[in-house]
Amino acid sequence: MELDLRTPWSIGGVEIPTRLVLAPMAGVSVQAFRRQGRRYGAGLVCSEMVSCAGIEHRNEKTLGYLRVASDEHPLAIQIFGSDPSVMAEAARMVAAAGADIVDVNFGCPVKKVTKTGAGATLLDDPDRACRIVAAIADAVSLPVTVKMRRGLENGSRACLDVGPRLVEAGAASLTLHPRSAKQMYTGEADHSLTTELVDRVGVPIIASGDITSRARAQAVLATTGAAAVMVGRGAQGNPWALREIVDAEAPDPTREEIVAELVLFIRETVRELGERRATGFLKKFYGWYLGRGRFPRPFKQELVQLETLDEVETRLFAAAPGARFVLERLQDELPQGEGFLLDLPISIYGGG
């Protein structure tokens, strides 16, 4: 029997309207991406990881990540670092910025993060990991959650030992991506570990890794007992994947819808990042939106070569003229007013 992913659930006192979570992804999870994810069915969206050291030093680019639009809620802002007191202070700023949840990154496998003692490295230092969670939980009244991998090495089961200790330290929910840090994104996520973790703790578990379709989401939920699933790479330039996971009757997007969403994403990203930063940042999204057989490959390559975003828009509308009407409808449906329109561009700084 299928679980209705539109059933609400809670992390601490935060009610989440669907069982679908949009993953925090460095260089991807800007505000425009998160707001789009909420429109397409994600019950909870997450910022990309924010450096606690950057927050401590009041780095202007880092602080840009602490800007919250009111149509993002519920929103988790993810932080990373290795010093409990520094992370506790960063969590206070996250709470003050208006986040609903403070998420802690114990899963990033990238070397420039792990070499500082942060990210997945903390799975091999469970005492420090627990001190971090306890310090954050003491510092803020928001629920504290942790995203982690299975461990550093292939075959590791560290998550099953560390996870219950993190809950004892104050974690209100855990997200498990059951690949090792060494695997990065290769191989398959071993969700038998997710099942074991669910059995060992009394808080909601979010299953992450290889959630690419409604069928896969339903299978993972049914076999693991997880409270929700997290979608990451499958949603890059593809918000319709979120809609399909939540709603079995969701139609495939038309060419006009694809172009309209891409143009809206371009405009929202420019408003967020400023045109100079957005121009380079957006190039990877062209292939994500226009791939999957939706448009000929040379078309994406043509867009990447264009010098200005105005030229990109013009070329997109030439390929799908009806997209202008779809875009008008989308813009009319967007919330307006204070709390939605940002005056200052924020940086795409990823903090590692």
Active site residues: 108
Q: Residue 1 corresponds to which amino acid?
A: M
Tell me the C-alpha distance between 102 and 141, whole Å: 10
- Cα 248 from Cα 197, distance rounded (Å): 28
| Alpha-carbon span 301 to 296, nearest angstrom | 9
In whole angstroms, what is the distance from residue 167 CA to residue 103 CA? Answer: 13
Phi-psi region of 84 (alpha: psi -120 to 50; beta: other; left: phi over 0): alpha
Q: Are 346 and 64 in contact (CB under 8 A)?
A: yes
190-216 residues labelled b (16+ CB within 10 A) or e (exposed)? bbebbbbbbeebebbbbbbbbbbebeb
CA distances from 83 to 92, 164, 339 (A): 14, 21, 32
